[in-house]
Amino acid sequence: MTRGADVVIVGGGPAGAVTATYLARAGHDVVLLERGSRYRWRAGGVFASPAAVRELRHAGLDPATLARVARPIPAMHVELPDAARTSFRLTYGAETTNETAVGFDRSALDPALLEHAEEVGVEVRRGTVATDVALRDHRQDASVSAECVGDPLTSAAVTARVVVGADGPRSMVAAAAGMVRAPRLGNRIGLSWHVTDEPGDPPREARMVVLPGEAYCGIAPVPGGRVNVGIVLAGRSWRDRLQAEGAASVGRAVLATVPPSDADPEPWRAGEMTDAIAGASPLGSRVERRAGPGWLVVGDAAGFLDPFTGEGLHRALVGARLAAEAIDAELRGHAAPGGLAAYDRAMDERFARKDLVSRIVQALLARPALFAYAGRRLARRDDVRATMGLVMGDLVPASRALDPRFLAALLRP
């Protein structure tokens, strides 16, 4: 059976659901294929700056839903492994805007975004896995072949003028377009899970703890009396240990090295795990281009860096909005020169400088002495630290952090 549509989207995570929502609200016929019949925890971003919450409001999530899926976080406490145990707080402008960072309950956020997409007219096919992608050429529109999970004999195809890959770092759509490239960063492994916290979701700061041996650990409060633990491991020794001992053993060992903090009452240390450890490797992906004739990719499928303070979800939501704008113009015959490539240009304009800042941060992390040098200066210089928090939270242009005057203020003795 073949179904025709204006747009077919592969993947029902936040990027796919929000892209679909924007397009359906613009009056287009959209089919979204989501392989999971219900939400399943996988390693993904839970900490986000206020910018991500603003994008969710723009996408149409109502205040009650936002309050249910997001737990306010007053600040991110960044801790260094130097002898002085240097630390500093990033508040993401909360002092002036009264909007804080948040920790998302992805088990509530992701289904809410899919449900919202259905409410505005998207045909969401849960439990449907894409098996093949054929991109548009001079003879035919793009098409996606799919089958029902658990029933491989049930197959269907969707033809469309535009196919969108929102299917993660191993995107079938990006692969079909020949756009997959090796990540810019070395091989990194991510582990993530939740543990129980104090009931009632009391206000609590997040922590990002840089550990000896090319590792760091993020601890972010989320709704439901839980905290999310996210660990990033670099280097061959960690891969060898993971293979020998398993994720659970290594995760517990890394978490045990997180030092106590006066800013964190730490009930999570005795908390029970509420889900299995999810892993991601390599922690990063890259594509040569994000769009071409009749196709584009959004979210992690469009490439992502290993984020240090949590920016991936905001990027996915902005990308969804920009992708929908480009697709809408294409379908209405009002496309800018280059068609859907306008989306790729818009993403470069929005995030190229931010990517450079993120790569600089990652380069410093790989050189502990340099990172400690910069961290000690951030801890002492309030205005420089405030600017860095706004840049990392996508609240001001990243060019602010690349300005020679800012760099001089950061790096001077």
CA distance 354 to 28: 32
- Cβ neighbours of residue 295 under 8 Å, at least 6 residues apart? 135, 136, 142, 162, 163, 164, 165, 173, 176, 177, 340
Residue 185 has pLDDT above 80, yes or no: no
The pLDDT, as a whole number, for residue 369 is 86
Residue 238 lies in a domain: yes
Distance CA 338, CA 349 (A): 16
Residue (of 108, 104, 114) closest to 37 by Cα position: 114
Provide the residue type at 151 as one letter: D
At 55, the pLDDT band (50, 70, 90 cuts) reads: very high
Interatomic CA distance for residues 300 and 46, integer angstroms: 14
Q: Tell me what the mean pLDDT of segment 389-393 comes to.
A: 89
Is the residue at 244 inside a domain? Answer: yes
How confident is the model over 349-376, as pLDDT tens digits? Answer: 999 999 888 888 888 888 888 888 999 9
Measured distance CA(272)–CA(196) in Å, rounded? 5
350 in a structural domain: no
Q: Which residue has the tokens 């960063």?
A: 185
Mean pLDDT of 179-197: 84
- CATH (domain of 191): 3.30.9.40
**Does 210 fall in a domain?**
yes
How large is the average pLDDT for residues 313-326? 96
Given this model, what pLDDT does residue 261 score?
83
Q: What is the mean pLDDT of residues 110-132?
A: 95
Residue 280 has pLDDT above 80, yes or no: no
- CA–chain centroid gap for 128, Å, is 23
Residue 389: its H or E element = helix 382-392
- Mean per-residue pLDDT, 230-234: 88
pLDDT average, residue stretch 162-173: 93
The SS3 of residue 115 is helix
Q: Is residue 179 part of a domain?
A: no
196 within some domain: yes
Q: Hey, what are 181's tokens?
A: 């490239």
For the chain, the domain total comes to 1
212: number of Cβ within 10 Å: 8
Would you say residue 369 lies in a domain?
A: no
Cα separation of 262 and 182, whole Å?
Answer: 41
pLDDT band at 307 (very low <50, low <70, confident <90, very high): low
Using alpha carbons, select from 120, 4, 128 the residue that is nearest to residue 61: 120
Tell me the torsion sign for CA atoms 392, 103, 39, 17: negative
pLDDT-based confidence at residue 109 (cuts at 50, 70, 90): very high
Q: What percent of the chain has pLDDT over 90?
A: 55
Does pLDDT of 223 surpass 60?
yes
Read off the pLDDT of each residue in 182-211 and give the average, rounded to a whole number.
86
pLDDT at 144: 87
pLDDT reported for residue 212:
82
Domain that holds residue 238: 72-99+187-280
CA distances from 279 to 188, 189, 232, 282 (A): 11, 7, 10, 9
